[in-house]
Structure 1
Amino acid sequence: MIAWLLLFYQGFYSLVPEAAFHKKVGRHHYGLSEIITEGIPQDTVHLGEVEVFSPALDKYTHGQQIKAIKSEDLRDFQGFGLSDLIQQRTGLFLRQYGPGMLASLTMRGTSAGHNAVFWNGLPINSPSLGQTDFSILPVGAFDEVQLHLGSGGALYGTDAIGGTVHLNSRLKFGQGHSFQTDSNLGSFGRWNQQLQYGFSNKRISLRTRVYRNIAENDFPFPNLAKPGIPIERQEHAAFYQEGFSQDLAFQIKPNQLISSSLWYNQTEREIQPVMGSNTLDSQEDRSLRWVLDYFNFGIKKTWNFKTGMVRDQLIFNSIENNTSQFFLIGDMDWEISPKISSKSGVRYTHVHGKLSTYEAKENRIELYQSTNFSVAEDLKISINLRQFVYDGILAPFTPSLGADWILFSKKVNELKLHVNGARSFKIPTLNDRFWEPGGNRGLLPESSWSGELGVSYLFKNERFKLNQQLTHYRMWVDNWIIWIPKGNIWSPENIRQVHNKGIEYAFNADYQLGNWTFEAQGNYNWTRAINQTNISENDRSAGNQLPYTPIHKFQSLIGVKRGWIHSYLNYHFTGARFEAMDNISYLTPYALWDWGFRIGEIHALKIKGSLGFQLNNVFNTSYQVLRLRAMPGRNYQINIQIKL
């Protein structure tokens, strides 16, 4: 509870003593996703024994593809950043500057700023940079991770051109006291420790987490920038992170619930230099995020009022940049009839940026409407609408239309068709408009139109289950913002037009043979992101693939379980990436193998324990994600989890 008092009575920078920042740099969620309640009167049709909230995150997403990260994977990657988990389990590509360094997600061939990121229903992309660094989001801070592929502007607002990432907390009532500790030890000075305490009864649920992640990142690598390509040990790439989170839920009445989450995260990094360079840059990232939800459950209507804030501080080589966002959100989800449900809402955001070269304030307001139609038992349709206004400027009106159509359904198999068409947008970042010198206040929002068609097939019997999905999409992005030189000054312009198209295939399979369970899963992405415009007389890049956008990306995993023993083998392949718009030079494809096993959960008295081991890059492959950015060879991690 001290953390809550600090939030309201102290400033952002007094939450953690200043000395702490000067160590040696070595488909169902609404913030609260699952509530288990007891003792509710039978005549109250509000909170059942198990209530799973279904807001716009997946309730109104017919026709869209959603990837949910398994809880087992969240456990196995406790000591890693979210970038490592996404890279190894989803088949998506991240532009990564080294282990623990900047990692930006690209979905369907779009840029790092074309993905919206939400934490418990709050957008957390930096308003100055317009993106999120996935390497500093610790996996251990979340209970649920979902990735929604494709345009989501009508559902989520700005930035959701390529896709949306949702990070959520989960609480339960009636669980009593609980304690959990996770310890991880790995190669190259990697160490992680996380402690978690929770308590809940019939009306109150609370949980506190604290964590610390450290890595020296002193791995050997072949230095391609020196004659003879000598093997050297990486220097100046240390990573230090610590933070805490506090989640709380209180059932006011049988039909009323209040929940809140607080998360503080701070990271210090020595910025890994490119091969052949001896730069000694450093960076500190501090963030404070808080959200408060009130739910009122009626027989046919659910009201939700949300407020929260996101404060970020980035210090690069002692140059300080601060941004803050304050949110007020209200919406009503209404079951109009057994076949029609609707959601209407408004979101207000106040943005304040105080950066090294400018200071800016901005008010944003969004009106949104979502409706589901059950046209027939086998045909579901979603219509979503959103209007976004920022600084008195109308962003493009954003509609979307999606449908899921069950072509046939039998006892053991089902074939379903998915169709979606949508418009999305991204407003210019604060840096794009106000940076001095070079900012352009006349920039237009980036805008996209997209369409996708997919088919999914499910087969299951007593022993075997197979789920497959094949999707084809096309996307046209207009007014893409890029920075170009104007004399001695670089300035952003709405110049680029890009046509994206691709094919996505995903499958999951499980087979039960006695006490043995065999599993397999895979993801393949074929991505073309084609520039349509030349930005100068000497530019000949029209028709070329965007840089660092692999055409082929594949990931697969096979595993076996028996009792409390689980072992798996993971493979991920990344195709060639062009280094520049001219598409002349490129980085060669690479393939990595990872192996791991876990023993647990083992029960002894009232203690549950598990032991895991991961061997990454089994064959010690030398590779680059980005040019001259060293990556580690073979490395390991041991993790121990104990629950009381």
Structure 2
Amino acid sequence: MKQIITFLILGLSVCNDLQAQVDGVQKLEAVILSDSKLKNYASGVKIEKLTDSILRNNAISLTNLLAFNSNIYFKENGAGMVSSPSFRGTTASQTAVVWNGININSQLNGQTDFNTINTSNYSSIDIRSGGGSVQYGSGSIGGSIHLNNDLKFNNHSETRLKTGYGSYNLKNIGFNSSIGSKAWTVNLGVDYVDSDNDYKYLGTNKINENGEFHNLNMNVNLGVFISNKDILKLYHQSYMGERHFSGTLVGPSRAKYEDENFKSMIEWARTTGKFRSQLKVVHLHEMFKYFENKDKENYSLGKVNTILVNHNFNVRFNEKLQFKTILEYSNSKGNGDSFKEPVRNMFSTTVLLNHKPNNLLGYGVNLRQDFTTGGERPFVFSVDAVFDLFEHYQIQINGSKNYRIPTFNDLYWQPGGNLDLVPESSYQIDLGQNFNYPNFNVKLNGYYINTKDMIQWQPNITGLWSPINIGEVASYGAELEVKSHYTINKHQFNISGHYSYTVSEDLETNKQLIYVPFHKGNLAMAYNYKAVTVFYQHMFNGDVFTTADNLKGRFGSLKSYDVGNLGCRYTFFKNTKNELEAEVVLKNIFNEIYENVAFRPMPNRNFNIQINYKL
């Protein structure tokens, strides 16, 4: 941390000297993207960018943001507890989370807990559907979520303060400041959330006991032009949280879980004519302490530190043809009560090609070879194409081979780890149709995913749970995305919606996987007139099975449910320097009784009040 602070001070101290040097020659874009390959090497891939207004309407929780504004299904062990996605019928460990171009899924369990990610920390969030292992590595089978801190290189100074209070004694406070010029930019942010989380279990006389949580997020992002060709960038984020794991309808809990995640990256980028080189050095730290009894000092510990070095070299031959190579090395060292001190070294080499030979066609070809500790050498590829057939009609198609390597828990957990596991292997194809009009956009996609050597934890003949390569799963379905916006005089209307039909079958039993709904949909509507904004969000999740034999009823499935949120935002004053607004949101306004994990009810009707001040 001391090195980060020193780097920040040094960067600010030289900004004034650099200003005169850069003003006359810098011709790069005012906004520097943190992950350029997401924009430049995915012509035939479905990507949804969540706008600023959507992020504001779903502040704090990444789970709620994506559940109400994407095709992704989530299961939570109660509000604020562990949150896991199912993207196109795949598992949580088959969805990659990418932070500024770097895959940050846990080395321990291969997943990311979406309730540990605060949306206030990011300038934009993108959803990339389909396999992406060539570009983003292990776990990118169903899709990937991209958390971006884009750097603005223009003259600006903006500070935002926010504070909020809600049901179950929910308190949050946040600070975010961004300042900069054409030569340098700095963004600082701090967010704190705390809740008793003692909501009522509707239809019972029970409450959510032992469910309190609090967490702190801090981030700093810095960019400095050291010449007209060179830029240094720093990204850092810290998360520290404590959650008491709540019980269920049939049993109490006294467990507590403490975790911390630190992410730091320094990047040097150099642009000379047609060539662009990027060198990234990354440190990722994850640690947890699990207390079976929160009143005792005994706990189990697990942690991993990863050092990663990534080099990108991009050649833009002309406006229609570009080529990129990526070399990446990572070293991960673990330490824990259940897996001792495992070490994993990984090296990968990747080549990406994007070509647009004419105004009607664009395509990409991508290859990747990995070398991993243990002799694993996954080779993956992808091809994609886009056809602009008419002014408002476009076809996208892509196919790929993807993979997921066993995690530290899979290999080394004692007792039960299995050193004989091999990586999961997956093939997928996706066909999309886009209808684009000035105020109306429709995307319709169909896909098929076949995954072999699925890693599943099962009890052996002695009753000990252990992972084995046994499963083969086929996931296929269709997705619909609709967005529309209109302005009539000073009245603004925005409507967006998603629907997905998903089949995800175990090919041995021909049964639907647990916690994968056949049907999921959502609808978001917003109206703005002068100082007033009103928005409504609705989410529908169909029935899900909770047992592998697909039994129906209380002990084999969960019923479908509808949840609606209603919000109103009022701006008291707004000028060039200052802005004050207040927001009230009513969640689960219909007081729906629902669970997305068996015997773990979700909250009843509740509210949140937010005050935001910009200066």
TM-score class, shorter-chain normalisation, is over 0.9
Residue equivalent to 1:445: 423
Write the deviation string for residues 5-39 of structure 1: whole angstroms up to 9, x where unpaired: 4899xxxxxxxxxxxxxxxxxxxxxxxxxxxx986
- Whole-angstrom CA distance in 1 between matches of 2:33 and 2:108: 35
Q: State the AA in 2 paired with 1:428.
A: P
The Cα of 1:338 is off from its aligned counterpart by: 3.6
Q: State the AA in 1 paired with 2:396.
A: H
- Whole-angstrom CA distance in 2 between matches of 1:167 and 1:253: 28
- Whole-angstrom CA distance in 2 between matches of 1:42 and 1:230: 66
The Cα of 1:167 is off from its aligned counterpart by: 0.7
Q: State the AA in 2 paired with 1:482.
A: Q
Residue equivalent to 2:260: 286
Q: Unpaired runs of 5+ in structure 1?
A: 9-36, 223-228, 534-541
- Whole-angstrom CA distance in 2 between matches of 1:48 and 1:577: 46
The Cα of 1:604 is off from its aligned counterpart by: 5.1
Residue 132 (structure 2) pairs with residue 152 (structure 1): yes
Q: Unpaired runs of 5+ in structure 2?
A: 9-17, 292-298
- Whole-angstrom CA distance in 2 between matches of 1:480 and 1:329: 29
Residue equivalent to 1:32: none
Q: Secondary structure at the match of 2:399?
A: strand
Q: State the AA in 2 paired with 1:498.
A: V
- Whole-angstrom CA distance in 2 between matches of 1:475 and 1:153: 14
Q: Secondary structure at the match of 1:87?
A: helix
* Alpha carbons 2:493, 2:528 under 8 Å: kept: yes
- Whole-angstrom CA distance in 2 between matches of 1:244 and 1:175: 24
* Alpha carbons 1:269, 1:283 under 8 Å: kept: yes
Residue equivalent to 2:451: 477
| Equivalent in 79, 82, 98 of residue 118 of structure 1 | 98
Write the deviation string for residues 353-389 of structure 1: whole angstroms up to 9, x where unpaired: 1111221011101101110011221111011111111
Q: Secondary structure at the match of 1:580?
A: coil
* 1:521-532 matched pairs, under 5 angstroms: 521-532=496-507
Residue equivalent to 2:573: 602
Residue equivalent to 1:328: 309
Q: Secondary structure at the match of 1:129?
A: coil
Distance 1:39 1:563, change over 3 A: farther
- Whole-angstrom CA distance in 2 between matches of 1:514 and 1:177: 31
Distance 1:404 1:283, change over 3 A: same
Residue 172 (structure 2) pairs with residue 187 (structure 1): no
The Cα of 1:590 is off from its aligned counterpart by: 0.2
* Alpha carbons 2:376, 2:422 under 8 Å: kept: no
Residue equivalent to 1:509: 484
Residue 229 (structure 2) pairs with residue 255 (structure 1): yes
Write the deviation string for residues 298-348 of structure 1: whole angstroms up to 9, x where unpaired: 111111000011101111112111111111000111112342101001011
Q: Secondary structure at the match of 1:310?
A: strand
* Alpha carbons 1:244, 1:265 under 8 Å: kept: yes
* TM-score, normalised relative to structure 2: 0.93
* TM-score, normalised relative to structure 1: 0.89
Residue equivalent to 1:432: 410
Q: Secondary structure at the match of 2:36?
A: coil
Residue equivalent to 1:319: 300
Residue 481 (structure 2) pairs with residue 500 (structure 1): no
- Whole-angstrom CA distance in 1 between matches of 2:576 and 2:434: 45
Residue equivalent to 1:581: 548
Residue equivalent to 1:370: 352
* Alpha carbons 1:611, 1:641 under 8 Å: kept: yes
- Whole-angstrom CA distance in 2 between matches of 1:488 and 1:115: 30
- Whole-angstrom CA distance in 1 between matches of 2:143 and 2:187: 30
- Whole-angstrom CA distance in 1 between matches of 2:326 and 2:490: 49
* Alpha carbons 1:76, 1:612 under 8 Å: kept: no
- Whole-angstrom CA distance in 2 between matches of 1:240 and 1:119: 23
* 1:374-385 matched pairs, under 5 angstroms: 374-385=356-367
Residue 213 (structure 2) pairs with residue 239 (structure 1): yes
Q: State the AA in 2 paired with 1:398.
A: V
* Alpha carbons 1:475, 1:500 under 8 Å: kept: yes
Q: State the AA in 1 paired with 2:99.
A: W
Count of aligned residue pairs for this structure pair: 593
- Whole-angstrom CA distance in 2 between matches of 1:298 and 1:425: 35
* Alpha carbons 1:47, 1:297 under 8 Å: kept: no
Write the deviation string for residues 187-207 of structure 1: whole angstroms up to 9, x where unpaired: 111111011233323422212
Residue 141 (structure 2) pairs with residue 161 (structure 1): yes
- Whole-angstrom CA distance in 2 between matches of 1:73 and 1:155: 27
- Whole-angstrom CA distance in 2 between matches of 1:258 and 1:199: 16
Residue equivalent to 1:22: none
- Whole-angstrom CA distance in 2 between matches of 1:246 and 1:521: 32
* 1:222-237 matched pairs, under 5 angstroms: 222=202, 230-237=204-211
- Whole-angstrom CA distance in 2 between matches of 1:513 and 1:396: 54
- Whole-angstrom CA distance in 1 between matches of 2:476 and 2:411: 30
Q: Secondary structure at the match of 1:266?
A: strand
Q: State the AA in 2 paired with 1:526.
A: Y
Residue 45 (structure 2) pairs with residue 70 (structure 1): no
* Alpha carbons 1:612, 1:638 under 8 Å: kept: yes
